[in-house]
Structures are given as structure tokens and as C-alpha cells.
Amino acid sequence: MLLSNGCSFTEGHTLPTPNSSWPFILSDNLHCDVVNLALGGAGNDRIYRTTIEYLNVNSTSDLIIIGWASLNRAELSHESGLYLRLGADILADTRQLNQDLSHVHKFWLTDLYNQYISYRNWINYVLHLQNYFDIKKIPYRFFLAWGTNYIKEFINETDLALKLADQSFQWRDRKQYAPCRDIHKEYQELITLTKQIDLSKWITNNQHTMQSFLNAKGCATDNTGHFLEDGQQIWADEIKKML
């Protein structure tokens, strides 16, 4: 059985049927069943949470593939017992609540969201699942669906990585004091964590996101930027090559 999780790029957003998305195409090629936990608008908090929840109550999967989302999304619990999906690129998902919670989204975006925290949490999610799958001897593959590939940035110790880590210094006068790599403990911590990632288990060895890979192949998208059936097929084929 194939277990997949991710955001709309894995859900198959706007495709005619779920069977047109890469998890179902891949499961057909592998002659196995599939459970696709992906949901449009999902961030890495939800992807990690629902993967763990599923594995806690279901038998071990034969293969797990996770398409991680951008850093600019999160989820918050709601008094109803549901979760709000929040993001810098989307409004709070309130379809099941039938109420306007735009004020919650605005508060999260202006007072709570921090890319440094989002990246640190995500890397710990990745390492935890990586280690868990290795211990359980569960075959798995990861990839980034879209957005900036910060794993590459931190492995290469770039200025973009330093800029992200520098968000941890909320108190620093950025006009007077420039970030310093040598004493920036948050930056060094993120580099150390990132370099523990086993890139051999990442589709294209993390040289591409799904989006950048399929864009380079000239695959068509709909008006929301999601790939059509041909792109889904090509991505399923690319994953199969690495299994």
C-alpha cells in the first residue's frame, strides 16, 4: 500500500478526477492500493500531523511519499475541534465553520508568522520522519512541491539562508548591525540540522522542487498554477525511477 501526503500538488487540485493525480498514477504502475492524505492549502504542520496520526492507527505502509509544502503555511486548532489552514498565500480555510475568521488569519500573519520558526519546525519534522521510517524499515521518498528550496540554501550556506535564520533576532537593529555567520547560533543550528537530511531519499536528490522540475519539462498548468494530467504522469514516472 502506498501512503502519500502533501498539499494541492499531491491532492491533484482541479484535476478531473483524483485518479489523474500522481499518487494514483504511481499506485497503478506499482499495482498497489493508495491512501492519499494530501489536501489543498495544507502546510507542513498538517502534513506531519496527519502522517503521524495515520501511522499511529494503521498498519505499516509499504511505501510512503511526502510532498512537503512551502514554509508560509500553518494550521491552528479551533474551538470546534477542527483546524484552520493558514498561509501567506491563502486566506484561512473556514469552509467547514461557516464563519468569517479573517481576523484570525490577519493576527497569525502579522503577529505570529516567522519564517525562521517555520523552517526550524519543518526540518525537525523531516528528520523525525526520516529517522522513524529508517527504524521501521519503511521505504519512503520526500520532495518539495513548490516554493524556495531552502534545504539547498542551508547546505550551501548561502546569504539567503543567513537572511532566513536572521529572523530569529527580533531585537536586533538591522540598520546598525549586520548578521554575523560566526556568532549566529540559530544559523549554525539550522545548517547542522539540514545537513543531517538524507538527500538520497529525495526525488531528484532535492535538486528540484516538483514545480521547478515540471516547469523545466514544459508541462502545462491551469490558471491556478497546478499541473495538468501530463505533468502528473511525468512526476509519477520520475518518482518510480528512484524506487
Residue 146, all three cell numbers: 513548490
Beta pairing partners, 142:
66, 202
Look at residues 185, 190, 41, 6 and name the one whose alpha carbon lies nearest to residue 116. Answer: 190
Q: What is the pLDDT of residue 95?
A: 58
Q: What is the pLDDT of residue 43?
A: 94
Q: Where are the beta strands (DSSP E) in 69-223?
A: 73-77, 83-87, 140-144
> What is the rounded average pLDDT for all residues in the chain?
89
Handedness of CA 31, 33, 36, 37 (dihedral sign): negative
Cα–Cα distance, 220 to 95 (Å, whole number) = 29
Residues of the chain with pLDDT under 70: 89-99, 170-183
- Give, in degrees to the nearest 5, the angle at Cα 63 between 61 and 69: 105
Question: Which three-class secondary structure string do you get for 194-229?
Answer: HCCCCHHHEHHHHCCCHHHHHHHCCCCECCCCCECH
User: Domain 2-72+113-148+198-241 belongs to what topology?
Assistant: Rossmann fold (3.40.50)
Residue 61 gets which letter from DSSP?
P
Look at residues 133, 143, 140 and name the one whose alpha carbon lies nearest to residue 206. Answer: 143
Cα–Cα distance, 37 to 165 (Å, whole number) = 31
**pTM confidence score:** 0.91
Are 13 and 69 within 8 A, CB to CB? no
Q: What is the pLDDT of residue 180?
A: 66
Q: Residues with Cβ < 8 Å from 107, sequence gap 6 or more? A: none
Beta pairing partners, 191:
none
Sorted by where each begins, the domain ranges of the chain are: 2-72+113-148+198-241
> Which amino acid does the sequence have at 69?
A
